[in-house]
Structure 1
Amino acid sequence: MMSRPSSSASLPPFVRGPHDSSYALLSRRGSDFGSRYIQVDDTGVYLSSLVVTVLVSAVATIGILLFTLVVTLSVMLGSCQGQPVAVGADISMRAADISMRKLKCESFIMNAEVNNLQGWVVPRECKRNVAAYIESAYHVDFAGAIHAASDYLKTVEVQGDGLDVVVMDIDETALSNLEYYINHHYGAEVFNETVWDDWVYEKKAVAFKHTLKLFNELKAAKIGTVFLTGRPESQRNITAANLEAAGYKGWTELLLRSPEEVGLTAIKFKSQRRVDLEKKGYRVLTSLGDQWSDLNGPSAGARTFKLPNPMYYIF
Structure 2
Amino acid sequence: MSTILGHHHISMLVKNAKGTNRFYKDVLGLRRVKVTVNQDDPSMYHLFYGDKTGSPGTGLTFFEMPSIGRTHRGTNAITRIGLMVPSDESLNYWKVRFEQLDVYHGSITTYAKRKALNFEDPDGLQLVLLVADGEEMDTWESYEQSEVPVEHQIRGMGTIEISVRDSDRFTKTLTDVLKYKEVYRDTTEVLFQTAKEDSYGEILVKHLDGPDEKPGRGSIHHLAIRVSEESELAHWDETARQNRFSSSVLVDRYYFKSLYFREPSGILFEVATDGPGFTVDQTSDHLGEKLVLPTFLEDRREEIESRLEPID
TM-score (norm 1): 0.22
TM-score (norm 2): 0.22
Higher helix share: 1
Structure of greater relative contact order (alpha carbons < 8 Å, 6+ residues apart): 2
Larger Rg: 1
